[in-house]
Chain A
Amino acid sequence: MFEFEFMRLAFAAGAIVGLLAPVVGFFLVQRQMSLIGDGIGHVAFAGVAAGYLIGVSPVWTALVAAIVGAAAIEWLRAHRTAAGDQALALVFYSGIAGGVVLISAAGALNANLFAYLFGSILTVTRAELLRIALLGLGALLLVAILLRALLAVAIDEEGARVSGLPVAFLNGAVSMLAALTIGISMRIVGILLIAALMVLPVIAAQRVAWSLRSTMGLSISIGLGSVLAGLTASYYLNMPPGGAIVLTAAATFVVAAGLETLRRRV
C-alpha cells in the first residue's frame, strides 16, 4: 500500500496525530475533562461552517473557533460561572447549533462537510502534512516545556496553587492544546471522532499502567498503534479510516480492561 503517495501521506499525518492526541488527552483525563474534546469539536464545526460562509479555508476558521471554544469552557469553569460539565454542555450545544445555522446559510450541506466531520485522511496533501507537522511539533514542544508543572497540577491542583504555580495559565494551556489538536486532527479522524483519539488510548493505558510515566508511554503507543492499524485495516477492508482508527482504539480499551481484570484475579 505504500506504493501510493496518498497512503504515505496518510500514514505520516496519522502518526503525528496518533502521537499528539493521547499526550494532550492524558491531561484532559487527569482533570476529569474527558469530554472537553467533544465540546471543542462541536465549536470547531461552527468554525468549519463559518469558513464556508465567508469563503476562507475551513481548516483555519475551525482552528480559531476551537481556540475560542476552549477559552470559553476554561473561563466558565475557572470563574465557577458554571460547573465543568455545564460549561461543556453550553459550549457543546451552542457550537453544534451555530454550525447548523451557518452551514445552512452557506448552502454547504454536502459531501465536503463529511470530510471535516468524519475525516478524510486519504486526501491529505503535502502542504497539509507540513502544516500538521509544524503545528503538531509545536504542541508537543509546549507539552515538553510545561510537563512537570502540568503533572503537578494534574496530581493536586490545590497544592499546585499553594506552591505558586500559575494554575490558571496551565489549565488554559491544556485547553488550548486540546483546541490545537482538534484543529490539526480534523482532516485525519474528523471533528466528531478526534476526542475519542485523545481519550480512549489514555483510559486504556490507565488500566494496565504502573506509573504516570508508563501511562503516558502506553497512551502514545496505543494512539500511534491505533492510527497505523486502523489505516491499514481501512486500506485492506475498504472501511472509512476515521472510524477504523477509533474502533481500533476502542478495541484496545476492551483488551486492556480484560487484562486488568485478569491481573486482579491472579
Chain B
Amino acid sequence: MADDRVVGIDLGTTNSLVAYMASGPSLAHPHEPGKGVFIIPGEDGVNLVPSVVALDDEGHMQVGNSARAVLLRSPERAVYSVKRLMGRGVEDVQEELKLFPFRLAEDLAPGEVLRIHLGERTYTPPEVSAQILRQLKRNAERFFGSPVKQAVITVPAYFNDAQRQATKDAGRIAGLEVLRLVNEPTAASLAYGLDKKQNGTIAVYDFGGGTFDVSILKLKDGIFEVIATNGDTHLGGDDIDNLLIAVAVQDIAGDLKIDIRKYPDAVQRLRNAVIDAKIALSSQDAAQLEVELPDGKLYQRTITREMFEQMVEPIVKRTLGPCGQALRDAGLVAAQVDEVVLVGGSTRIPLVRRKVEELFARKPHTELNPDEVVALGAAVQAKILAGGSEETKDMLLLDVTPLSLGIEALGGVTAKIIHRNSTIPASATEHFTTGVEGQVSVAIHVLQGERELAKDCRSLARFDLKGIPPMPAGLPRIEVRFLIDANGILHVSAREQRSGKEAEIQVQPSYGLTDEQVETMILDSFDNAEKDLADRQLIEARNEAETILTALTKGRRDEAWTMLGFGEQRKVAELEAKLRRSVSGTD
C-alpha cells in the first residue's frame, strides 16, 4: 500500500535526513532508489537538509538550504541547532545562550516550555522542529507522489524523557504519526547490521553536531540487544565551532581592535568560515580562515591541523568518559569489543578517529557515510514496523533506557526504581500511603538521573494521586505503576488497593507541552498549510522553469541546435518567451 509507507527520519542538530527501505531482493545497491534502503533527496537534489528554519523577507517559512541563506543575510530571522532546546527549561539552557544566538521570549517562567523569537512570533522548540519534519515529509511525498503519514524518528540515546516527548510532539505537529523513537547509535547499528549478519559485541561511537552517544550492543542471530549506553546531550561539532569562534573573536579584538560580537551577521560569517576550515582540516594539513569584518577589513588566519588538534583535544577527550562508563556498565573491557562503528559528522575529524582507535585498539568501521547511516537505520526500523521484508525478517532491536528513573523520597533523596540500561519496555510498581487522617491526595515527584539527591536529578513530572478514600493515616495502599515504553517514554498509572478505586492522576510534565497545546499547534499549522502549499507550489514551479531556461541556454550553444529547422527554432523561442512571462508572475 503506497499510503502505508513508513519513512525513517534523522532529526539532527545540524542536518536532517529522510530515508526509506524498499522491499527488494537485493541490497547490493543500497543507494539506488527502488533497491534496498536509500536517502530521499530534497528538491535541490541534496540528501542533507540543514536543520535551519527561517522566515524570508515575504514572511514565508523556509527550511534547509534556503533558510541557511536567510541565516547569513539576517541572522535574527533564522533558528538553527534547535535540538539543543528540545524538552528543556529556561534554567537548563543558560550555557547554550552564551554560545548560540537563540532569542528566547522574555516572559518565560521557570518550568515553562521555551519559546523562541522568529520574526514577529515566538515558537516552541517542537514547533520549530516540526517545520523541519514537515519539509522532510514533503520531500518524501514529492519522491513517492503520494502522502506519507507515518515515521520512525531518531533521538540521541542519552535523551531524557522530556526531550523524547518533545520530539514526539514535533512529529505530531508536523502531521506525522511517530511509530517509534529509535536511539541514533542503535539505528546506525541496524544499517551496518543489514549486510553483516554476524554475532558479536559492537560499540557505536556517535559524535554528531550537538550530541555525543556511545552504545554497546550484542548481536545474536538478528537480535540487536543494547547492553549499555552513555553520552552527553550537549557535546558535539557545535562545541568545536564555538571554541574556534571564541579564539578568533579574541584574535580579532586583539589584532584589529574590533569587537565582532556586536555584529551578528559578521559572527555568522565567522561561524561559516570556521566550519569550512574545520571540514577542510579533515583532509588537508592547513586551512585558510578568511572573514570580512564590518569595517571592510579582512581577518585572515592560517590554521594548521596541528594547531586545530591541540585546540580541540579537550573536547574530543570529553567523549572518552562516557565510553568508559558504558563499557563498565556492560561489564566489558575495550578489548572484548569485536567491532567499532563511527557515526556522525564529527567522526570525520582524524583526531577523533585516532582517539577511538586507541581506546578500542582496533580500526573503526567507516564504510557507510557517517552523516547518512542513522537515517538509513531509521528506515530499516521503519520497515520492520511496517511488517518487514525478507531482509529484515530476523531483525529485532532491544534497546535500553539511558537514565535511571527514580522518585523523590523523604529527605530529598532519589529512590531509584528502574535502573539505567534496563531493557525497555520496563516497569516498576511502588506503594504509597497517606500521612494524615483523611488525606485524599499524595504528591509524587518523578526524577530521571544518576545522582543521589533529588535536586541533582532531572525533574520529569510532579503529580498528585487524587481521589483517595478518606481513611486513617497509613491505611490506604496506593499502587503506582511506572512503565517506560519502547520509545523510552514514561507512563504512570495508579490504583488504591484497599478500596479498589482507581486513583486519578494528573501528570504535570516538566518542560513538556500538554496534549491540548499540541492539538492547538496542529490546528495552527493546518490554518497555514493551505497558504504554505500554494506558496510552495509557486516556488517549485519557478525553480523548474529556471532549470528549463538554463538548459535551453546551454542547448543553444550545442551543435545540435543548428540542426533544428528555422520553424522549430522559432517555436522554442515563443515558448521560452511565454515561460519567462510566467516566471515573473505570481500565480
A binds B: no
